[in-house]
């Protein structure tokens, strides 16, 4: 009887330790999110798709985000894409093309720009909204986190994330449910965007599935800004241009 009580005590202590670890890891992930991007903001960025031949295709995109999971984008160039908008509400995404009609549903694994960045990468929400930390390692240079998707509808089943001691995100490896590496995201070139907000201004991605291809996002502006809920609706997709100041 006494042995059983001791075993039960060890099991309870183990459960408490695992729970505390999970809470610590997820709290760290939230802090990494906050240092990577403001909770609500507007931004301007250039997205460049680079082929093995050196050929490039560039897009200029205006993006707004509200809290963790609401994102909308407006394409400013090239001329063939100008005026197109996308909307993300959690796991649901739509594309609106002027003079075509109603918004159409798109998926996270598709790409409205045709490069290695998929729609989930381009319309990025907080990682803590979609993933839980299942393992956390503290190293001499920072942290390594293993993340598991909360649902099966997100773009990647698992992520391996690297952050500095200052909790600045620097690299992510994205994996399928089978453990296959899909792509790597690298964050580079720290920049002060004003009001004390400092984060990487460049995100680059490459994939073993598309050898020789690369895609790069370069942020020229990131600014905290609050938006009304009505802006993140399908009825507002044709009006996003009016938010630019």
User: pLDDT of 117-174, one tens digit each?
Assistant: 999 999 999 999 999 999 999 999 999 999 999 998 899 999 999 999 999 999 999 9
Could you tell me the pLDDT band of residue 5, with boundaries at 50, 70 and 90?
Answer: low
Q: How far is CA 119 from the centre of its chain?
A: 10
Distance CA 23, CA 240 (A): 38
Domain 22-243 has CATH 2.50.20.10: yes
Model pTM above 0.85: yes
Distance CA 187, CA 202 (A): 6
Distance CA 239, CA 77 (A): 17
Q: How big, in percent rounded to 5, are the helix, strand and coil portions of the chain?
A: 25, 40, 35
> 115 — phi, psi (to 5°)?
-105, -160
The pLDDT of residue 100: 85
Given a cut of 90, is residue 79 above it in pLDDT?
yes
Distance CA 39, CA 68 (A): 6
Q: Which residues pair with 193 in a beta bridge?
A: none
Q: What letter does residue 226 receive in the DSSP assignment?
A: -
Any idea which of 13-22, 100-109, 132-141 has the lowest mean pLDDT? 13-22
């Amino acid at each position: 009887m006494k042995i059983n009580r001791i075993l039960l005590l060890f099991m309870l202590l183990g459960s408490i330790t695992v729970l505390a670890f999970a809470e610590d890891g997820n709290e760290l992930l939230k802090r990494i999110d906050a240092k990577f991007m403001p909770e609500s903001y507007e931004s301007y960025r250039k997205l460049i798709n680079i082929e093995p031949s050196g050929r490039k295709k560039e897009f200029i995109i205006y993006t707004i985000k509200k809290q963790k999971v609401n994102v909308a984008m407006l394409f400013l160039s090239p001329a063939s894409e100008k005026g197109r908008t996308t909307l993300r509400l959690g796991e649901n995404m739509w594309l609106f093309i002027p003079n075509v009609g109603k918004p159409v549903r798109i998926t996270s694994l598709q790409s409205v720009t045709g490069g290695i960045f998929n729609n989930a990468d381009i319309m990025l929400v907080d990682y803590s909204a979609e993933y839980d930390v299942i393992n956390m390692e503290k190293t001499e240079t920072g942290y390594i986190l293993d993340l598991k998707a909360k649902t099966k509808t997100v773009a990647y089943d698992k992520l391996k994330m690297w952050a500095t001691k200052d909790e600045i995100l620097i690299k992510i490896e994205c994996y399928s449910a089978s453990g296959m590496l899909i792509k790597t995201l690298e964050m580079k070139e720290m920049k002060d965007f004003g009001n004390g907000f400092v984060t990487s201004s460049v995100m680059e991605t490459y994939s073993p599935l598309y050898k020789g291809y690369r895609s790069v996002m370069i942020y020229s502006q990131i600014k905290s800004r609050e938006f009304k809920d009505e802006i993140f609706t399908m009825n507002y997709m044709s009006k996003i241009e009016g938010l630019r100041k």
